[in-house]
Amino acid sequence: MALRSRIVLAAAAGRSNQQIAMDLGIPEVTVGKWRRSFAAQGLEGLRDAARSGRPPKHDAAVWQRVQTLACQQPQSQSRWSVRTLARAVGLPHSTVHTILHGSDLQLHRMRTFTFSPDPDFEAKLLDIVGLYLNPPENALVLCVDEKPGIQALDRTQPLLPLRAKKPRSWTNEYVRHGTQTLLAALEIATGKVVAHIRNRRTSVNFLRFMNQVMRSYPGRELHVVADNLNIHKNEALRRWLARHSRVRFHYTPTHASWVNLIECFFSILSKQGLAHSVQRSKQDLKDLLHRFLQSYNASCGPFTWTKGPEQLQHIIETTKDYQATHPRKPRRRRARRKKNDSIKD
């Protein structure tokens, strides 16, 4: 619009089309076009006319046929690809790709979910979310869990470093040097992590870790979010809680580990700390974990709970519907054979 206005103003000053084109650095035919349009329609003539655009090559029926088939399970394979779907509908794969992209259908993606069978799902969920969004006054909320079986993996051949147009490369053959277990507590207010590295996940190691957590936050009331693992609920822990009145455990619903924000930290650890690492011993793995924790705590921040009331209500309602249609079956207890019983042929 600014360029076209300059053409008109220059023409009003008595300049020729050739002079205007030379001054503005545009073709002379462009100057003539917009002078004629302005003379015929005034200011409205300087605006772009409505354009019909290229007519669609395929009508709504073709789009619906591709969309419908894409959402169905193919008979001879686990999922569609763009090319197999294109052969099934008799269209070029570029056309099918355009239709899928325009419909926001992604054939290659798969997400997982698990409905919780916990009868107290709603109460436990709202209790923990309430701790995240409105923690008790003068109290500290911690998310606690373990990441067991972290493998110290070495490669059998030297790594090839990152180069232009070539990704970092390593052999697919590896050597195991043992495993370690990380016990971690995430502080909701700051995002900092207190952690222990142990050889195994045992009740003794967990209680020692909780003693260290209490020493890290002296005199503070602690609300601990944990899952339903046996070492988080056994008799040893109940006795420990009876001796430490300022610690209170809040358990996540069954099969709902996503409620515990420590899983976000474990995801960061896996992708940024462990995914491309090589360790030649368990000590190398320990040193790596210690370095990562130190670096993480130096620059970390709190995680933000993003599921609002509408999402939580939807999760609660769908879980109730699932539980109503899939009642929880009682566990069968196997009868233990007495040591003195003879084995029959």
Q: Which residues contact 229 (CB under 8 A, 6 or more apart)?
A: 146
Q: Measured between alpha carbons, how far is residue 79 from residues 75, 220, 257 in Å? A: 9, 53, 28
Residue whose C-alpha is closest to residue 190's, from 251, 145, 135, 244: 135
Please report, rounded to a whole number, the percentage of residues in the chain having pLDDT higher than 90. Answer: 64
- What is the pLDDT, as a whole number, of residue 59? 85
Residue type, 94: S
Residue whose C-alpha is closest to residue 220's, from 138, 142, 144: 138
DSSP state of 120: T
In angstroms, the CA 28 to CA 15 distance is 12
pTM score, whole prediction: 0.73
CATH assignment of 121-157+171-308+315-321, among 3.30.420.10, 3.30.750.24, 3.20.20.540, 3.40.190.290: 3.30.420.10
User: Is the Cβ–Cβ distance between 293 and 196 less than 8 Å?
Assistant: no
In angstroms, the CA 72 to CA 265 distance is 36
In angstroms, the CA 20 to CA 34 distance is 12
SS (H, E, C) 263-330: HHHHHHHHHHHHCCCCCCCHHHHHHHHHHHHHHHHHHCCCCCCCCCHHHHHHHHHHHHHHHHHCCCCC
The answer to whether residue 342 scores a pLDDT higher than 60 is no
Confidence band, pLDDT 50/70/90 cuts, at residue 333: low
User: Is the Cβ–Cβ distance between 145 and 274 less than 8 Å?
Assistant: no
Domain boundaries, the chain: 2-46, 60-103, 121-157+171-308+315-321
- What is the pLDDT, as a whole number, of residue 144? 94
Q: Measured between alpha carbons, how far is residue 24 from residues 1, 28, 44, 76, 104 in Å? A: 14, 10, 22, 64, 44
Tell me which H or E stretch contains 7: helix 2-12
Q: Kindly report, residue by residue over 17-73, the tens digit of the pLDDT.
A: 999 999 999 999 999 999 999 999 998 889 888 877 787 788 889 999 999 999 999
